[in-house]
Amino acid sequence: MAASNKKSNHRTNTPPRKTASSPSSGKKKLTAAQRRELERQQRITQALIIVGSIVVAVIFIIIFLSYYGSNSTKDLTGNTASGSGTSSTAAVKESYYPASEDFETAPDGEQLKKPSKGEEVAVLQTSLGTIKIRLFPKYAPTAVENFRKLIKDGYYNGIIFHRVMNDFMIQGGDPTGTGTGGKSAFEGYETFGDEFGRNLYNFRGAVSMANTGAPGSNGSQFFIVQTKKAQYYTLGDKDGFLSNGGAKWAAEEYEKRGGTAYLDGQFKSVTGSGHTVFGQVYEGLKVVDKIAAVKVDANNKPLEDVVIKKAYLTKVK
């Protein structure tokens, strides 16, 4: 039962005490000048209290936003554990390998179709199971070319998933395993350009490039979206997604299968995050979930290494 807020009506018979300001205290009355000085000092004290309160509030907000930005799954997935947010393999150079201008826009729903016979796909054999990825060379040609070249060079073999966040994503592709390493497959360039707005979305199972948040900062690191619920962040909700230009079919799929809508490149001006989608897991999502569920440290790095034992390309039979 909640405690009563009523005040007690009990009174004591103790006589009132004389205050320091009573005439009998012997103190003299303040002069007009003294009263003005006292009032001035009180105003200064009140102003200092107000300013101090504002400063404390601002510091609290900054600390909160810093913590939220580095730990929340709503943060931009970056190349360092963002957080992400968020995050960088290498500093973005003044010039980066440009994204191809020779591309098509994917038909509605094409991203979620199974690969056809003879189509080349990527396979990641991990220490917790096999993940098969359909690639989109027509719609994200530069990112796919980069991924294919790195796979053919054996770049990903033996690399760990260095950043794992359950109900968000799993991230790998850094040969140093720290979240700060890696570079693109393009000779003379550590990074390459973004490929946004190709009618490809960060649905659950999407394979996207990790970056620093800066334009053209894609290298070797990638992540696989794992969340089963639609996450919109500053887009708000499904209606916010649509009002900002999201496709109706995509909005329905986000609600049905989950994903990180705010990471779609076309919303970068709204959410501050944007990541190039270049593939989709069509087999092995249970393995992705298994990896996402492993125990991690304070930096979201698995306590026991989850390794990409071998990555290779093959054609669907």
What are the backbone angles phi and psi of residue 80, rounded to the nearest 5°? -115, 150
Instruction: Give the whole-number percent of the chain exceeding pLDDT 70.
Output: 81
pLDDT tens, residue by residue, 82-103: 333 334 344 445 599 999 999 9
Residues 6+ apart with CB under 8 A from 13: none
Candidate ranges 26-35, 68-77, 272-281; pick with highest mean pLDDT = 272-281
Mean pLDDT calculated for residue range 286-308: 98
225-250 pLDDT, tens digit per residue, is 999 999 999 999 999 999 999 999 99
Summarize pLDDT for 172-212 with one digit per residue, the tens. 999 999 999 999 999 999 999 999 999 999 999 999 999 99
d(CA 98, CA 76): 22
C-alpha pair distances (Å), 196 with each of 26, 124, 206, 232:
82, 25, 14, 17
Overall pTM surpassing 0.85 (yes/no): no
